[in-house]
Structure 1
């Protein structure tokens, strides 16, 4: 996917906006082995700020430490070192639980409940009045694309993985949270479901919610995030807006045209694609020289646009720099 200046329109928040999430040299070490005598450092000195009202995407290969960081922020896992704040309170502070929503990567709910009953149960945990539940539950079901019929009549054990993911998103939003944590929210969804999930995340940002989500689907992150961070082997190696991360990446030109000599065009254009008399690809060399060459062989230039490396290009380059070639 080629990024354009329009794609990069989202900018970093100004410094006068408060941080919803702050971590300082946060680390987590797990003990493994039969005698628990081996140590695995899952998170290393992670210092991060996520600002109120922004959508932040955390990227990384499987096993990079994304879920460990998220669970540490939520207080599910205690850090081995460092400290952090959520909405101005220390990690694990119970007073902010009412303000947080969470969708796990592989949600497991009481499968004898229907989707509607699960949402009623969640609402009860947050002590949401029944009068509010009657309005909020149908609204959330509509938001995530579940019919009331499926929610009321089907037990969760009869749900597909995508349906579980949808109702999981609904329960994460039941308390109208200020801060939403989503662990691989696109997991198990078909293309339509992923589009709906993207729209939901964008709408949360439009309403001033702070969204923190993990993903290894870079194209999704590229479309909806204000800022991104990249974890590799437990270490936060890059963080910023797409503009900031990609500003030093090589720029190039994408060209398309009609006619000309294929042998000459092949020398000028990488990854050239022919379709009848039309061609397109990535330009080698200077645009003005190329345009002059087209005139000499009586070819027509249809478009010449500046491109930029994609987030995927940047991500893979960062992995290669560190010799990381596998998620295992």
Structure 2
């Protein structure tokens, strides 16, 4: 029986998670640690940011949550459900760092495709797409081909496909990657709207100033380990960038 996501305090719970990559080269086994002994809890309804230097384990953590990678050790639950579990993936909407869509589709055609792929009732699809297009201010662009979309509009479309099946948890990898200042501001506003609608948002970013402006809490990853979880009250006393630099230089 599926757990009631509203009643679960933890949207994501990670316990002593370790991922070791193994590869063989010239008869020798080489290992690289992606994340090690990582424990983290994301509360239902909050915006949680994950920051770290390149190679710190941000994308590995996200892929482990989604079941795109399997852990070497440890466990993950999403709204109390052990992961990975293909039957529970409908609880998550995912935005990859580099989304790719067939450019001959229109925005509407793409969202219809993803709606059907998620198993939505076909009678509900038109209304849901209209709702998402309105939320993301995409209505004038829905009948245009994706090849004509700007970078910012492509990012909105990628978020739209993550929202179309109405998941309670949204996982975004580098949400504002490659966007100009206007696009970044629009994404910030959108994330706040999603929180107001009761969504839990978990995202990685290398732009600490943006994470500071939108998140309730922030986890700092360094060398595959979670070195600190920072509360809003912490960066109200001193800025998040200074906290981050202090932690990664220890």
TM over 0.5: yes
Structure 1 residue 313: deviation in Å? 0.9
- How far apart, in 1, do the equivalents of 2:137 and 2:179 lie? 12
Please report the RMSD computed on the Cα atoms of aligned residues, expressed in angstroms: 1.9
CA contact (8 A) 1:165 1:187 kept: no
CA contact (8 A) 2:8 2:79 kept: no
Aligned to 2:125: 133
Q: 1:59 aligns with which of 51, 55, 67?
A: 51
- How far apart, in 1, do the equivalents of 2:89 and 2:175 lie? 20
Q: 1:314 aligns with which of 222, 243, 249?
A: 243
Select between 309-318 and 88-97 the one with higher mean Cα deviation.
88-97
Aligned length: 243
1:71-112 deviations in Å (ceiling 9; x for gaps): 101101101111111111111112322221010010112333
Q: Give the secondary-structure state (helix, strand or coil) at the position aligned to 1:153.
A: coil
- How far apart, in 1, do the equivalents of 2:37 and 2:103 lie? 39
Q: 2:138 aligns with which of 138, 142, 146?
A: 146
Structure 1 residue 127: deviation in Å? 2.4
1:286-325 deviations in Å (ceiling 9; x for gaps): xxxxxxxxxxxxxxxxxxxxx832001111111222xxxx
Note the 1:257-276 alignment, pairs <5 A. none
CA contact (8 A) 1:55 1:224 kept: yes
CA contact (8 A) 1:184 1:213 kept: yes
Q: 1:74 aligns with which of 66, 71, 80?
A: 66
Gaps of 5+ in 1: 1-15, 247-306, 322-328
Aligned to 2:3: none
Q: Give the secondary-structure state (helix, strand or coil) at the position aligned to 2:176.
A: coil
Aligned to 2:98: 106
| 2:131 is the alignment partner of 1:202 | no
- How far apart, in 1, do the equivalents of 2:56 and 2:22 lie? 17
Q: 1:20 aligns with which of 11, 33, 48?
A: 11
Q: Give the secondary-structure state (helix, strand or coil) at the position aligned to 1:188.
A: coil
Gaps of 5+ in 2: 1-6
User: Larger Cα Rg: Structure 1 or Structure 2?
Assistant: 1
- How far apart, in 1, do the equivalents of 2:138 and 2:194 lie? 18
The structure with higher relative contact order (CA 8 Å, sep 6+) is 2
- How far apart, in 2, do the equivalents of 1:140 and 1:57 lie? 23
Structure 1 42/196 Cα, relative in aligned 2: closer, same or farther at 3 Å?
A: same
Aligned to 2:214: 224
- How far apart, in 2, do the equivalents of 1:320 and 1:135 lie? 50
Structure 1 residue 33: deviation in Å? 5.6
- How far apart, in 1, do the equivalents of 2:232 and 2:24 lie? 40
CA contact (8 A) 1:182 1:214 kept: yes
